[in-house]
Amino acid sequence: MIRALIFDFDGTIIDTETAWYVAFKEAYREYEVDLTLEMYSRCIGTSLHAFNPYEYLIAELGLPIDRERFRASVRKRHAELMRQEKVRPGVLDYLESAKAYGMKIGLASSSSREWIDDHLGQLGIGGYFDYLSTADDVRRVKPDPELYIRTLNGLGVLANEAIAVEDSPNGVRAALAAGMHCVLAPNEITSLLEFPGVLHRVGSLGDLEFRRLIATPLSS
């Protein structure tokens, strides 16, 4: 029996990922460097340790760039692009349906708590979540399963009683490593990446009726 849904945030609830990639790619182009999706994908859904797009031009290529000015310009462009973004299709329906069915709702994000709180407040959806885990709460972020394990414990459910909703390969790997089933709803950028096996893959949650998801037989 499915008792809980656990959502990723960036790229899953709202498509922050495409805006970040576009902002960084445009910034790199000013220095005649092509930021490929293959390079950038290493930091999608995880921390910036695997690939830090803020530092690559300076630390790896040795370009004379003012760090703070570069960071500020990228963030400004990202904010401009994000003004066009809304909650992804189907997300609100899933949140409302899960509440109507008496299910618990969690959030497991590799982003900081400040980032998550700010965006949930702006979107007006923070009240739907019963338990949140962010990068501030764990030693290792995705693809490590610690975020999901912490959220499962916080919700008081077993891994086979919850379904993760993800958009990135690192997120899917984390959910599977925690013993969960996972619904994949990739965004414009992450749809081009390779993924491990998932319960359902959809263009958006709007393509998968909530009742069909919770009626799907799950093996333990």
Report the catalytic residues.
Answer: 8, 10
CA angle 186, 51, 66 (to 5 degrees): 120
The region that residue 137 occupies, defined by phi over 0 for left and psi between -120 and 50 for alpha, beta otherwise, is alpha
CA pair distance 65, 62, nearest whole angstrom:
9
For residue 17, the one-letter residue type is E
Say if CB 17 and CB 10 are below 8 A apart. yes
State the CB neighbour count (10 A cutoff) for residue 102. 7
State the CB neighbour count (10 A cutoff) for residue 141. 23
β-pair partners for 87: 14
Say if CB 152 and CB 182 are below 8 A apart. no
Order of strands across the sheet with 200-201? 131-133, 104-108, 4-7, 162-166, 181-184, 200-201
